[in-house]
Structure 1
């Protein structure tokens, strides 16, 4: 679906009544360039929040003369979309790959999450070295670009935002210094991740080098103060939302390669490969569906990865491993969230007659929410609560829901990768279970 497109003309809906894509592009440039100049020159000031509202405000200002949907994200027109890259992931590729962006249903959430992480990093202040500044700018540019908030005009919106980000950090970021083709190529390579998701520095190398070329320290007391090392904040572990975004991004990329593997196994029949991609996309749009589809996706990855012929392709095997590994993590996250929800629901129902048992259950749920494993000791209050629920006709259904959620969570915790993750994050005990 493309709610931004005029079905009769095949051209983006616009205020100008233009019915030719070529003519519309010319008008768009004529109107957007002076609007961008207003933002860059300070005639129109925006608070540097770098959240969804901030990006919508930039887009609205740039394109207000051309599009009635200026400032609206892709969600407004239920537009997912995809497009060919300006780059090859490796020298053996005959055709550029297709870039796929974040689900349109998650744009606002993702922009807010990335912006929040950027604020926690003090909007990149404290980088006295242009090298470290460029590396962090490249990371955030890629995150915002992959989110791809708008139907049209993402590049211009990002240029305004990152020019302002540079000023906040004491640097002049001047996109006029770079050939647009080189910018597109570096941007697209970051999306493609040719070195795989485990090598972010390599994947962002071209984009980092580009920002080194177009960034220079600004003069003046304020800029110098912004670059002072005491302004720096440590690069923190990604928030849960950003962590989930990354897992879904890896799933999306690897599923297409594994889908091709299924097609090869089935001698050119793409039915199962297409089904796998559709299942992964369902999970990407609605992560809770991993509870229903996760085991099927992992089975497909295992089949391709252990195939006598296909297993000779080292890169394909890596894709199968990535797909399976990210699915199990997402399954665990969803199972944990489901347990917390069901435990909270039962605790609320128990409060009036069994307040002590209800509070114990809440404490366990709080510990699990912070990634504590559900084990023998902190599982006791759960069993007590379940016993009470099963004795009551009114509480039996919610008790059965928690029983199922508990069983699923405990089973997933036994998977080696999840067990290792929990062991690393949870070195000691407290009243609610294991500490984070």
Structure 2
């Protein structure tokens, strides 16, 4: 897909080094990224990457040697991210993961960061509590999917810093089970169960395997957990996005194929607050209601649950989250502000940093 980050002639990401071969770019990017990551993990760069500004500054530091757009979110290049995966337990084949609207990224990231701050950045939690909340927030940031390239690696670095400050070692960068990590992460995005406890269980299991308490861990009573209104509305949109494909697949090939095709055509745009969105949501609702009137289809328990969850989520999305107009603003600050994130200048020369013992796969 062409976007503001990609050279339309070569299909390769625009980069400082004028590399036009995708494999060569990946090799160079990986080497440069690894060096900058070592700077962060060795403590040479202070990071507090849990709101929009902090995450952007961390991404800028990690990819400053390769991309002139390092630190810019998907909004900069108007890129609406999707990705194929086979992690959906509802059936065989590849399914599409839909991520948050690039138009609302700053407010979305700040809303996650403010809620995380209200939970004291997960400090004082025992291991089970920490693993559960870390998996929840990792999924929230992953759905926001701030960056065109390097999103997973930026989150990996961010969560290692978050964990260390909370008294834990979370070995995301050097973890040795990339397949399990990818499946757990993708399963949470696809939300096949429609229940956070079930949808996040593989990710919680994975975090439990890579999380180790540090000697300086100090336990304290957990802060009350309250999901912000903004994130509740985002959660409703996630349900809408991930329900589209099962709905049109169930309608395709029958007498309602035309409706199925209309839903297919609107899948990428349904997340955006524009003038066409009400029509896209309306046809999706029509498809769900048609399925409710098809007893043979409703014998499929998973599909029946999908339809019910979609119809429950649609009013919240239609009325509150994606009305036509400017992106929503995040809720007022909780008062627990992130410290400023000093990072190296884009043109700062590479400096020697201590070698770390652990090496890991590309996130």
**TM-score, reference length from structure 1:** 0.69
Q: 1:284 matched to which residue of 2?
A: 271
Q: 1:2 matched to which residue of 2?
A: 3
Q: 1:207 matched to which residue of 2?
A: 203
Instruction: Tell me by how many angstroms 1:142 deviates.
Output: 0.6
1:80 aligns with 2:80: yes
Q: 2:159 matched to which residue of 1?
A: 162
Q: 1:89 matched to which residue of 2?
A: 88
Instruction: Tell me by how many angstroms 1:291 deviates.
Output: 5.6
5 Å-filtered alignment, 1:294-305, equals 294-305=281-292
1:100 aligns with 2:98: yes
1:218 aligns with 2:214: yes
Q: 2:139 matched to which residue of 1?
A: 142
5 Å-filtered alignment, 1:184-333, equals 184-194=182-192, 196-197=193-194, 199-220=195-216, 223-224=217-218, 228-230=219-221, 232-236=222-226, 238-266=227-255, 269=257, 271-279=258-266, 282-286=269-273, 294-333=281-320
| Structure possessing the higher radius of gyration over alpha carbons | 1
5 Å-filtered alignment, 1:269-418, equals 269=257, 271-279=258-266, 282-286=269-273, 294-333=281-320
- Distance in 2 between the 1:181 and 1:218 partners? 26
Instruction: Tell me by how many angstroms 1:88 deviates.
Output: 2.6
- Distance in 2 between the 1:335 and 1:81 partners? 18
Instruction: Tell me by how many angstroms 1:160 deviates.
Output: 0.8
SS in 2 for 1:275: helix
SS in 2 for 1:95: coil
Q: Output one character per residue of 1:333-365: Cα deviation in whole Å (capped at 9) or x when no partner.
A: 369999xxxxxxxxxxxxxxxxxxxxxxxxxxx
Instruction: Tell me by how many angstroms 1:98 deviates.
Output: 1.9
Instruction: Tell me by how many angstroms 1:299 deviates.
Output: 2.8
Instruction: Tell me by how many angstroms 1:212 deviates.
Output: 1.2
- Distance in 2 between the 1:215 and 1:58 partners? 22
Q: Is the 8 A contact 2:167 2:213 kept in 1?
A: yes
Deviating above 4 A after TM superposition, structure 1's stretches of 4 or more consecutive aligned residues are 277-283, 287-296, 334-338
**TM-score, reference length from structure 2:** 0.82
Which structure's relative contact order is higher, taking Cα pairs within 8 Å and 6+ residues apart?
2
Q: Output one character per residue of 1:280-303: Cα deviation in whole Å (capped at 9) or x when no partner.
A: 654421178666665543332111
- Distance in 1 between the 2:79 and 2:56 partners? 16
- Distance in 2 between the 1:11 and 1:336 partners? 35
Assess, with a 3 A threshold, how the Cα gap between structure 1 residues 63 and 256 changes in structure 2: closer, same or farther.
Answer: same
How many residues align structurally? 323
Q: Is the 8 A contact 1:142 1:187 kept in 2?
A: yes
Q: 1:424 matched to which residue of 2?
A: none
SS in 1 for 2:16: coil
Assess, with a 3 A threshold, how the Cα gap between structure 1 residues 118 and 335 changes in structure 2: closer, same or farther.
Answer: closer
Q: 2:361 matched to which residue of 1?
A: none
Assess, with a 3 A threshold, how the Cα gap between structure 1 residues 39 and 240 changes in structure 2: closer, same or farther.
Answer: same
- Distance in 2 between the 1:335 and 1:42 partners? 41
SS in 1 for 2:149: coil
Q: Is the 8 A contact 1:88 1:95 kept in 2?
A: no
Instruction: Tell me by how many angstroms 1:181 deviates.
Output: 2.2
SS in 2 for 1:12: coil
Instruction: Tell me by how many angstroms 1:7 deviates.
Output: 1.3
Q: Output one character per residue of 1:383-414: Cα deviation in whole Å (capped at 9) or x when no partner.
A: xxxxxxxxxxxxxxxxxxxxxxxxxxxxxxxx
Q: Is the 8 A contact 1:263 1:273 kept in 2?
A: yes
Consecutive unaligned residues in structure 2, runs of 5 or more: 326-363
Q: Output one character per residue of 1:248-278: Cα deviation in whole Å (capped at 9) or x when no partner.
A: 00001112211222323337x4x32132345
Q: 1:123 matched to which residue of 2?
A: 121
Q: 2:23 matched to which residue of 1?
A: 22
Q: Is the 8 A contact 1:297 1:324 kept in 2?
A: no
- Distance in 2 between the 1:28 and 1:334 partners? 37
C-alpha RMSD of matched pairs (Å): 2.4
Q: Is the 8 A contact 1:83 1:100 kept in 2?
A: yes
Consecutive unaligned residues in structure 1, runs of 5 or more: 339-436
Instruction: Tell me by how many angstroms 1:21 deviates.
Output: 0.5
